[in-house]
Amino acid sequence: MQDTQESITREALSWLFCIVAALAASGCAGGGAMSAPSTYLPSTAQQPAAAQQQVPTTAERTTTTTASTSRTPASCLAGATPAPVPAGGSLGAGRMIAAWGATVGGSAKAPTNGSVRDMAQVSLGGTALRIRLINPDTANPLVVCSAYVGLQKTNPGAALVTGSSRQITFNHGKPGITLPPNTPYVYSDTIAFTVKPQQIVAVSMYLSATTAATASNATWNSSYATASGAGDETRDESGASFTTNMSGSTFDATFGTGQQEDLQQGSTYALAAIDVQTTEANGAVVGLGSSTFQGYESQQDEYDHVLDLLGADINADIRAGKRKGLVNEGLGGDSLYVALPGRFARDVLTQTGVTGVIIYDVNDMDPQNGQTLAQVESNYKLAVSESHAHHIRVFCSTWAPESISDLAEITSAERSQLNQWILNSGTCDDTVDWATVLADPNVPQTYNPLYFSDSIHPNAAGHAAMANATPVKRWFEAGSYP
């Protein structure tokens, strides 16, 4: 095992290839999961230039900063259905580019007739944004009665910068939306909202349903929820109503070390991506990986795992206009052979402005997955072929060492052979040798003690070493979205 022993089946991820009848009936047409990102283009709310200011007027502040005292009935959107293909448009100069993302997974539990507040650190700055919601639940609709976005005041925490809240609308100005079961994704309207690179935004949603949909997305950072029955608290900038940390759940693992660990797994609820209107970037790069990309063994709420650090490096090292947004689609326990027919189309090919993908799914040769070395190489070739067909460059890394394992079937020889193939076959558009970066120089098949955590994942220092070794300009400056 290279990342985690979580069981992820083809069946659990296969829903994204089904364009459900309910969506089709409501006008969800398009080219399907493999189509270009324009399949589900959101509308743009037509707002005057004054609306693009970061701090609202006194009148606006009156309506956006006070905690809601109303209790909207659960039937607030009884007849609403999503309309994922409204008219396009934009607010401000530049183009819409994906700046944050998370894939289906995690452990968030939503309240019933309550509110959630999802926290997300965007990789790009811009003058407007839109959100992407999902509902992978096979039985229950996801009913969003109202939604707001603001800036986090202090990390971690549910409080917002006073006066930063803005209402998010859907389907040409409606306050909410209902996502039927098995909705792959749907975008909000584009709204004026100024944000800086690496700023943490808070997306708050009031969920009226008496049965909450299972719609958790995997992160490594805290998000928050009210108690069930609290009603609409989306405008509560104090954060006092959000008494539950959705990222507070723990799960046990030994990872072959014989020592028990309690890991905190972060989650957002229903929020799967944030796009920003920006002049800073001309494309986005997706990190498709397993638990190291999700953030395992980095420090929760510190935004110090490898993809977060690369996002900061992009903004520091590449001039505005040539940068790339960074979208983290890391999922503990994932493997490439499962991701390819499952989440690859949704999480990579349909991201707004995608120009590149970093592949770091490193569980394929675990006994539970049973992939041979030849099959893993074939999976890489297929991922590259699918990406190139969509004009997406592919960046690959060698697999990290494994010091202690209860999965001895993954031999050092197999890992070394695969790593040499990744570096020398020319299959990927560019590579980095993270295995050598993380290895003990005296015992290359084991972790350097400086980067050791649980024998499988690098610690925070290891995440930093991976980021430092990545050729930032080669990976994130070249290429642009048409």
Range of the domain at 214: 40-87+101-251
| Shared domain check, 162 and 285 | no
Q: CA end-to-end span of the chain, whole Å? A: 39
Q: At what angle do helices 373-389 and 412-424 cross, to 10 degrees?
A: 30
Instruction: State which H helix or E strand residue 58 sits in.
Output: helix 58-64
In a domain, 26, yes or no: no
pLDDT tens across the length of the chain (482 residues): 444 433 333 333 333 333 333 333 332 222 322 222 323 333 333 332 322 223 332 222 222 222 333 333 344 544 333 333 333 344 778 999 999 998 887 666 788 899 999 999 999 999 999 999 999 888 889 999 999 999 999 988 999 999 999 999 999 999 999 999 999 999 999 999 999 999 999 999 999 887 778 777 767 678 888 999 999 999 999 999 999 877 644 333 333 333 333 334 567 889 999 999 999 999 999 999 887 887 666 667 778 888 999 999 999 999 999 999 999 998 877 788 888 998 999 999 999 999 999 998 887 777 777 788 999 999 999 999 999 999 999 999 999 887 444 444 446 788 889 999 999 999 999 999 999 999 988 888 888 889 887 767 888 899 999 999 999 999 999 888 76
In a domain, 16, yes or no: no
Single pTM value for the model: 0.79
In a domain, 3, yes or no: no
Q: How far is CA 318 from CA 325, 332, 393, in A?
A: 12, 30, 18
In a domain, 266, yes or no: no
Of 251, 286, 314, the domain-final residue: 251
In a domain, 25, yes or no: no
| Shared domain check, 147 and 75 | yes
Look up residue 239 and give its two tokens.
Answer: 């954060």
In a domain, 391, yes or no: yes
- DSSP structure class, residue 234: T
* Separate counts of helices (H) and strands (E) for the chain: 12, 23
Look up residue 348 and give its two tokens.
Answer: 């990579």
- Burial readout 140-174 (b: 16 or more C-beta within 10 A, e: otherwise): bbbbbbbbbbbbbbeebbbbbbebbbbbbbbbeee
| Shared domain check, 112 and 173 | yes
Distance CA 373, CA 364 (A): 9
Beta carbons of 266 and 114 less than 8 angstroms apart: no
| Shared domain check, 313 and 234 | no
| Shared domain check, 329 and 223 | no
| Shared domain check, 181 and 61 | yes
